[in-house]
Amino acid sequence: MASHRKYKKSYNFKTYGFLNKAGSGFIALIILLSLIILCIYIINIIPGPMSILKNWLSHNLKDSLHESNLIPCTSLTSKILWTKSLPKLTSESPIRSNDVNDDGIEDIIIGFSTGLDIMNIPEYACTSYFNGQVPCFGGVLALNGKTGDILWIHWTAHAIFSIDCGLDLTNDKIKDCIICGRNGILHAVNGYNGTSIWEIPVRDLSISEEWKFSDIYDARFIADINGDDVGDIIASHIIHSSKIHTSEILIISGINGNIIHNSVLPNTEQLFLAPQKLIHPDGENIFILVTSSQKQSSGLYIISQVNLIYGNLKLRKLHHDTGKGTLLPPILVDVTLDGIEDIVAAMFNSTIIVYNGLTFEPIWNYTVPNSEMEKLENLY
């Protein structure tokens, strides 16, 4: 009987393990693809959460990059772009900026004096000193902000004290300037070419023949007062007579220079600065006045536009002081963050007082000991 051999089945365990791993990888790939498709579907139908997540991640990334790139300042350097010499001219007015040639670069506006009007030199001296230019005692000029070249010069009969180039009177898209100065100079100057838009004669500014007109130290543009849709001007000047020294407030039409209204201050203190305007939430215009006198006394007052124009010149006193408490030009800035500008007034003795622009009540004051202050800058 033949013997029967038993054949045993042999299994390749290596091949089986490989197939098992391949199958697991295929299943994992299918799951991964399914998750990607699901994520795409969620992003398409619900973009909000993803955008929020994206913004949150980018915000944190920017913060971290910003913090890591903060480098403390160790030194400051400057570079001279150009220099310009103006021989025979001196300046007593603030420098203003105004793009008068429409090149996108702010140009420099300078008021000046030649010094000849102080010495009472007759106008024929202009022939010798300024090649026949008449008048030649003062004026305003524009320098190209890019090169320093003179763009135009507007000559006047006296020195210029103040310039405001904040309004376009000629509707040519370039802001024009109002200038004022010694002996009643008050001109509107075309910002494009420096020509005169209008000039107020000295005789028109005096309220009567017995008053002697004096200097205009400040004039500035304000919003339209007389309803012609063109901004107007408010100015102040000193009036001298044989018996009294006082000040007058002028409101002047921006379009033609006609005097809309004038008011004489009811006291002996003088107004060297044009009133500043503060607008309340209800649209009421409040003017802020700073006065001073030869006795070094000074006052800070307010008056509504209605009372100013209609002759009821009742000033509300916010502050009054004598000696070195003389007030400097105040600035208007919202320190209470209520949307209304507040009044920041500084005195020569380095005392700063802040008044609420809505209630006009004092908020705080601070004095820098053993010091004096000459100017308060508005950096806003």
- The CA-atom distances, in angstroms, between 248 and each of 18, 237, 261, 271, 366 are 104, 6, 10, 8, 32
> And the tokens for 50?
């993803």
191 pLDDT exceeds 90?
Answer: yes
Q: For residue 273, what pLDDT is reported?
A: 86
Domains of the chain in start order, with CATH, are: 82-274 (2.130.10.10), 276-375 (2.40.128)
Mean pLDDT of 18-31: 66
Q: What gap in Å lies between CA 250 and CA 233, rounded to an integer?
A: 8
Residues with Cβ within 8 Å of 223's Cβ and at least 6 positions away in sequence, in order, are: 231, 232, 277, 285
Q: For residue 1, what pLDDT is reported?
A: 47
2 pLDDT exceeds 60?
Answer: no
Q: For residue 132, what pLDDT is reported?
A: 79
Cβ atoms of residues 269 and 297 within 8 Å: yes
Q: Select the highest-mean-pLDDT range: 2-6, 120-124, 221-225.
A: 221-225
- For the chain, where are the alpha helices, taking DSSP H only? 13-45, 47-69, 126-129, 202-205, 305-309
Per-residue pLDDT tens digits for 254-313: 999 999 988 887 666 788 888 999 999 888 889 999 887 766 677 889 999 888 887 677
β-partners of residue 219 are 235
Per-residue pLDDT tens digits for 204-258: 554 444 445 578 889 999 989 888 999 999 998 877 666 667 788 889 999 999 9
> Which has more confidence, 322 or 281?
281
Ranking 95-104, 197-206, 270-279 by mean pLDDT, the lowest is 197-206
pTM of the model: 0.72
Q: For residue 294, what pLDDT is reported?
A: 64
In angstroms and rounded to an integer, the radius of gyration of the C-alpha atoms of the chain is 36
Q: Select the highest-mean-pLDDT range: 51-55, 141-145, 241-245.
A: 141-145
